[in-house]
């Protein structure tokens, strides 16, 4: 496993103000496509969430140091999400996790420093991945039905419970899929696939604007 990785210096407020999310140009299209009522479903982007890649094996001194620095435990099994609202950790693999937090709320350099430096450094890494993915939120009574048109994972509540996150695909696009409540899902595609993913979802949810065919 690679040694700990420090964050680059924080960007200035001026530079931060110039950020544009991957699907900002589709915000009006997403809003106008929303469907209300019993067949309701809506789509929006939640831009600029802090996303931090964490590597450490749970139960080791590395994991303990990172858990103390991040203020939350690391997941122990596939699909598990740990941590309080606004600072949650998703399981990716047995020693790989993604911290998802409120924008600009994580000191990545301080977390990485918890692993130490030089010959005494603990194995592990902490890397700012915030620009790697964006977050789309699909919600409403028909959200699951929309996803089932192309998601490779079983979304039945007995298999995919609230508070579960998995790596899967939506159509041809790899995503992280996170069920945050009974009718709300967060989809996290890589930024380069975000435009395609939004258009796929808009096409998939279009039918729910019409009455259900008996």
1 close to 123: Cβ distance less than 8 angstroms: yes
What is the pTM for the complete model shown? 0.90
CATH topology of domain 24-47+134-214: Gyrase A; domain 2 (3.30.1360)
186 close to 178: Cβ distance less than 8 angstroms: yes
pLDDT per residue as tens, the chain (214 positions): 444 443 444 555 666 677 899 999 999 999 999 999 999 999 999 999 999 999 999 999 999 999 999 999 999 999 999 999 999 999 999 999 999 999 888 999 999 999 998 888 999 999 999 999 999 999 999 999 999 999 999 999 999 999 999 999 999 999 999 999 999 999 999 999 999 999 999 999 999 998 887 7
Domain with CATH 3.30.70.1520 in the chain: 48-130
Question: Residue 205 burial (CB < 10 Å; 0-12/13-18/19+)?
Answer: buried
Rounded CA-CA distance 201/138 in Å is: 9
CATH topology of domain 48-130: Alpha-Beta Plaits (3.30.70)
Domain with CATH 3.30.1360.120 in the chain: 24-47+134-214
User: And the tokens for 178?
Assistant: 């996170």
* Number of other residues whose CB lies within 10 A of the CB of residue 56: 25
Rounded CA-CA distance 173/188 in Å is: 10
């Amino acid at each position: 496993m690679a040694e700990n990785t420090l964050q680059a210096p924080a960007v200035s407020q001026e530079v931060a103000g110039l950020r544009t999310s991957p699907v900002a140009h589709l915000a009006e299209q997403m809003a106008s496509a929303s469907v209300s009522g019993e067949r309701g479903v809506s789509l929006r982007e939640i831009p600029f969430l802090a996303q931090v890649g964490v590597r450490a094996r749970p139960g080791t001194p590395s994991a303990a140091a990172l858990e103390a620095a991040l203020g939350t435990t690391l997941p122990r099994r596939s699909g598990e999400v740990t941590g309080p609202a606004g600072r949650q950790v998703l399981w990716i693999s047995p020693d790989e996790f993604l911290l998802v937090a409120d924008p600009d709320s994580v000191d990545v350099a301080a977390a990485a420093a918890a692993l130490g430096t030089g010959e005494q450094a603990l194995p592990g890494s902490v890397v700012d991945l915030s620009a790697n993915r964006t977050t789309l939120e699909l919600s409403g009574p028909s959200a699951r039905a929309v996803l089932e048109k192309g998601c490779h994972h079983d979304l039945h509540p007995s298999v995919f419970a609230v508070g579960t996150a998995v790596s899967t695909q939506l159509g041809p696009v790899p995503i992280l899929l996170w069920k945050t409540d009974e009718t709300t899902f967060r989809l996290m595609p890589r930024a380069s696939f975000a435009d395609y993913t939004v258009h796929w979802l808009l096409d998939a949810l279009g039918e729910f604007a019409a009455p259900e065919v008996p």
